[in-house]
Chains A and B, each alone.
Chain A
Amino acid sequence: MSKRDNNPMAEIAADALEPLFDGMSGLYGLMLASADGEPKWARLRDGMEEDRLAAMASSLVALSETMAKAADQRLSEFAIVQNSDGYVVSLRIGQEYLLSAFARRDTNLGMLLSKCQSAADHASSKLS
């Protein structure tokens, strides 16, 4: 039995996260964290702090969902930070995990969201 057979995180990384990271040229960071901000897996550019970013992703998603609720909106899909240098995208994987992607500005946002959602769906099926 291989190591990944009894480690869903290794399987998710090999089957969904690493192919996503390697397959999008504008993507320079990808991270899976617990919903309350503990890093579980990451591929990040040098200098990006995994612990800090995992906690920030948790704050970002929690505050985004609270803000949506205050505006009579429900079922958040993505928290998207678009800035002068690129995109930060965070989304839930069920109730217990978050996926965050960091991409350059020349990345196609629609493609990024679609691929992140696919990876999150794959991860969700393995973690449930």
Chain B
Amino acid sequence: MDRSYKFLFTGPPGVGKTTAIAAISDIEPVTTEMKSSGELANIKEMTTTALDFGELKLQGGDVVRLYGTPGQRRFQFMWELLLEGALGVVILIDNMREDPLGDLDIYVENFSGLIAETGAVVGLTRSDVKPEPGIDAFYERLQTHNVMLPVLECDIRRRDDVSLLLDALISTIEN
């Protein structure tokens, strides 16, 4: 019987969770976007307020189900709903944001249960445009949370980069 695996994509608003799932999904992704307001409206017109969903079909028939969370903290109830049954989480961090290390803190803390039980990987975006803080700073910050996770620079618009994040996540879980 074919098996299915559930992975989450999370991270701050505008980091590219919807884009990442669209880049790798084998089906047309499900999106739930509403018009942005406040400061976020300066960055992007629409924002996810419920979930994103995509599927990746593996050789042999197994299926990876990919769920994206809303980014804003007020949607924490959705994070908790989407956590159920998840095998791991991809935390996307945008290095162009004001406090990328602070963003990392938020998502590592909020997904600490899942990280402890299974695994996670950090995808660092736009570090080519703004190199600081560097990857070492992220590893140091993760140590303050007593977790050791892979941190990979990526362009989430590229399927290969998203695939690499998932491969790293699966390796983390298998270990």
For B31, the chain A residues whose CB sits under 8 A away are: 66
* B75 x A37 contact (CB < 8 A): yes
Chain B residue total in the interface (Cβ 8 A) = 21
Complex Cα–Cα for A58 and B78 (A): 11
Q: Judge whether B110 is part of the interface by a CB distance below 8 angstroms.
A: no
CB neighbours (8 Å) of A52 from chain B are: 74, 77
**Residues from chain B with Cβ under 8 Å of A127 in the complex:** none
Q: A62 contacts B37, CB within 8 Å?
A: no
**Is B32 an interface residue when CB atoms closer than 8 A count as contact?**
yes
Contacts of A37 in B (CB 8 A): 34, 49, 72, 74-75
Return the chain A residue nearest B33 by Cβ.
Answer: A62
Number of cross-chain contacts by CB at 8 Å: 62
Measured in the bound complex, the distance between the Cα atoms of B31 and A60 in whole Å is 13
Interface residues in B67-126 by Cβ distance below 8 A to A read 70, 72, 74-75, 77-78
A62-B34, A66-B30 known; A36 and B77 CB under 8 Å? no
Q: Which residues in window 38-96 of A have CB below 8 A to B?
A: 38, 51-52, 54-56, 58-63, 65-66, 70, 95-96
What distance in Å separates the Cβ of A19 from its nearest Cβ neighbour in chain B?
A: 26
- Chain A residues 8 to 53 lying within 8 A of chain B, measured CB to CB, are 34-38, 51-52
**Number of A positions contacting B (CB below 8 A):** 21
Query: B38 contacts the other chain (Cβ, under 8 Å)?
Result: yes
For the complex, is B40 an interface residue (Cβ under 8 Å from A)?
yes
Which residue of A34, A36, A62 has the most chain B CB atoms within 10 A of its CB atom?
Answer: A36
Known interface pairs A34-B38, A59-B75; 4 further A-B residue pairs with C-beta atoms within 8 A, sorted by A's residue number: A58-B34, A62-B33, A63-B51, A96-B37
In the bound complex, do residue B78 and residue A59 qualify as a contact, i.e. CB atoms below 8 Å apart? yes
Q: In the assembled complex, which residues on chain B have CB atoms less than 8 Å from the CB atom of A66?
A: 30-32, 50
A55 touching B35, Cβ below 8 Å: no
Chain A's nearest CB lies how many Å from the CB of B113?
Answer: 20
Residue of B nearest to A56 (CB): B77
Give A52 to B72 CA distance when docked, in angstroms.
Answer: 12
Chain B residue at minimal CB-CB distance from A62: B32
- A62 and B35 within 8 A (CB): no
Query: How long is the Cα–Cα vector from A54 to B34 in the complex, in angstroms?
Result: 13
10 closest Cβ contacts across the A-B interface? A62-B32, A59-B50, A58-B49, A34-B37, A35-B34, A55-B74, A63-B50, A62-B49, A62-B50, A35-B35
